[in-house]
Amino acid sequence: MMTPSQLADLVRRSDPQGEIDERHDALSFAAALGEPALRAEWLALAQTPPPFATGISIKIGDSDGDLEDNRPIAPGDRFQIRIAKRCAADILLLFFSEGYADNADTHSAVGHVRVADMPTGGTFTTYRTRFEAWTEDAPVPFAPLEKLPDPRTYASDFTQLNAVPQDIRPWLLGTAPETESAMFAAWRLIAVRKLLASLADRVCIEEGQVIYAFSGPPACKVALGDADAPTLFERVTEGAVWVYAEGLRDADTRHLLLANEWARTGRKAAMADMGQGSLESAKGAYSAYVKAGSKETLKALAELRKSIVDETQKISQRAQDLIGAMWKDVAVAAAPFALKIFPDAGKAETSFIASGLAIGAALFLIFSYAMQWHINAKWFEQQKNARDIWKSQLNLVLDPNEVDALSDPPVKESVKSYKNVRCWVGGFYAILVVLLTLFAFSNRPGAAVRADDAAASAAIRAGSAGAAARFEQAAGARGASIAAPGGPGVAAKAKAPPTSAPATSAKTQATRQRAAQ
């Protein structure tokens, strides 16, 4: 099976007449195809295209007729060959590095550029795209960096040629290739112009040339030739990284300072010397700028830090208030137990009231704890949303790590203390609810009646047992009197055994208590 690099070599061997027109979706060129073996190879490919091509067409001259096997070939015949590529999302496929210049704008919107004539060791990456050899293997996964500030905000483009890029990432080198290649040279030639345009104050066309103007002072205008582009590549790359990649919040100030330094170095005669030492001078000027405004900045930062601390203290104090509020209902739970100290705690009326109060107190504790939990959770959520809003604003001035260090630890500690106390209070509330429930069931009226019935039954059983014992004792005495001297007369005078009056009296008392209830 033919590979993309083999097909690119076949195109070279066909001796293209004129330029090779390569686009993201197809490649077209003209060739004589004078050798029969070469024509046969192209005809075979046209009948069975490789997997990476959707079709190959061979036209005779400028006509619509297709090349056939039995057609005679005249010495002056030319054939138009078109290879349609099988396009993939987020990938730009090229057979030749020379075709990159015509597809540079397309490259800005893709994550992979695969080139058939690119060596394996020539792989390199930018902040936006990975350049690699076009093989049968799937492309290596690549994640671009986040979008950087738009250079068109700081550099004016009057060329109508998109000289100032909208996205600077495709032109910032991420990892350099192991070996130089034609693809890297083609990309670098365009990248130097794009980066220089992003550092200039304005770009225009004068006398057919693209002019890069720096306002200065002193004002400076330069034109960049292909021979000087490799010399300036490292210089413009470092400057663009400092302005756009490192200066996300103050790219405008950095761009102004660096453009002034480029204008100062532009007074030198040699184009290769332009921008020499400009980045170091711009960094020094930026440092002086920061120090000049340090008094106002420090004052503003002090106010911001004070606001953060005050807000944090409010949240911490609120958390302490919530911790204290969790205990406010504990005294209510102890009220039913106070009923036990009254002298009439054993009465039925008091038992019914105590049981009802205990159930009510248990329900009140559950409802109060649930409501406090819900209200406190909502309050913490609202405070978090409010902190996120003002922290996002402070991050524009303060470092995000500094803002987090000032606000997050105290708030987290306060919330942690609140949650610990909430767990302990919840456990204590659970114990109180269980005790109140047991207290209510033990003092309900039905339980008191059953207790009285049990006491009455025990008294009856005790009285009956005592009467039986006395009856047996009297019977024994009667027998003894009959056998003794004096006979029955004496026994008749003996006192009769007592009746079961005590048992009857206990049962009567229990009946009266139930009637009173």
Quick one: average pLDDT of 263-286? 83
| DSSP-derived secondary structure letter, 205 | E
The per-residue pLDDT for 196 is 95
By mean pLDDT, which of 37-51, 177-191, 344-358 is the weakest?
344-358
336 and 431 co-located in one domain: yes
Backbone angles phi, psi at 417, to 5 degrees: -60, -40
Mean pLDDT of 192-218: 92
Q: What is the mean pLDDT of the chain?
A: 77
Domain that holds residue 357: 310-443
- Answer whether 25's CB lies under 8 Å from 87's CB: yes
Domains in the chain, number? 2
Pairing of strands 202-206, 209-214: antiparallel
Q: Coil, helix or strand for 253?
A: helix
The residues facing 221 across adjacent strands are 213
Q: Which letter does DSSP use for residue 15 in this model? A: -
> Maximum Cα–Cα distance for the chain, whole Å?
176
Distance, CA of 480 to chain centre: 106
**Residues 210, 158 contacting (CB under 8 angstroms):** no
Query: Domain boundary at 443, 468, 496, which?
Result: 443
Q: From the CB of residue 326, how many other CB atoms can be counted at a distance below 10 Å?
A: 21
Comparing 168 with 322, the larger pLDDT belongs to 168
User: Is 451 contained in some domain?
Assistant: yes
Q: Is residue 3 part of a domain?
A: no
The token pair at 34 is 């004078």
Residues 255 and 244: their CA atoms lie apart, in Å, by 8
Query: What's the burial of 508, exposed, middle or buried (CB within 10 Å: 0-12/13-18/19+)?
Result: exposed
Q: Is the pLDDT of residue 173 over 60?
A: yes
Q: Is residue 181 part of a domain?
A: no
Identify whether residues 383 and 460 lie together within a single domain.
Answer: no
416 lies in the same domain as 438: yes
Predicted TM-score (pTM) of this structure? 0.58
Residue 374 domain-assigned?
Answer: yes
| 361 and 375 co-located in one domain | yes
Together in a domain, 375 and 470: no
| Best CA proximity match to 161, nearest among 91, 210, 232, 98 | 210
Nearest to 262 by CA among 324, 205, 318, 195: 195
**Residue range 433-442: mean pLDDT, rounded:** 80
Q: Are residues 417 and 502 in the same domain?
A: no
Residues 363 and 460 grouped into a single domain: no
Q: What is the pLDDT of residue 351?
A: 65
Task: Identify which has the larger pLDDT, 40 or 451.
Answer: 40
Whether residue 495 has pLDDT greater than 50: no
Confidence of residue 343 (pLDDT cuts 50, 70, 90): very low
Beta strand pairing call for 124-126 and 173-175: antiparallel
- Block residue for tokens 């209902």: 329
Letter string b/e over residues 78-107, b meaning 16 or more CB atoms within 10 A of that residue's CB: ebbbebebeeeeeebbbbbbebbeebbeeb
Please give the order of strands across the beta sheet that includes 202-206.
Answer: 156-157, 202-206, 209-214, 220-223
- Report whether pLDDT(384) > 70: yes
In a domain, 85, yes or no: no
The yes-or-no verdict on residue 139 having pLDDT over 80 is yes
Q: Which residue has the higher pLDDT, 232 or 499?
A: 232
Is the pLDDT reported for residue 115 higher than 90?
A: yes
- Same domain, yes or no, for 450 and 401? no
Region of 73 (left: φ > 0; alpha: ψ -120 to 50; beta: rest) is beta
Judged on CB neighbours under 10 Å (0-12, 13-18, 19+), 189 is middle
What SS3 state is found at 29? Answer: strand
* Winning range, highest mean pLDDT, from 102-111, 216-225, 448-457: 216-225
Give 506's contacts (C-beta < 8 A, 6+ positions apart): 456, 459, 460, 463
pLDDT at 468 over 70: no
Of 443, 475, 501, the residue at which a domain comes to its end is 443
Residue 465 lies in a domain: yes
Q: 59 by DSSP, 3-state: which?
A: strand
**Rounded-to-integer distance, Cα 135 and Cα 151, Å:** 35
Same domain, 363 and 429: yes
**Domain-located, residue 207:** no
Last residue of a domain, one of 390, 417, 443: 443
- On whether both 438 and 452 belong to a single domain, the answer is no
| Banded pLDDT at 376 (limits 50, 70, 90) | confident
Residue 194 lies in a domain: no
397 in the same domain as 314: yes
Best mean pLDDT range from 7-11, 426-430, 441-445, 495-499: 7-11
User: pLDDT value at position 337?
Assistant: 53
Give the number of other CB atoms < 10 A from CB of residue 159: 15
Residues 494 and 391 grouped into a single domain: no
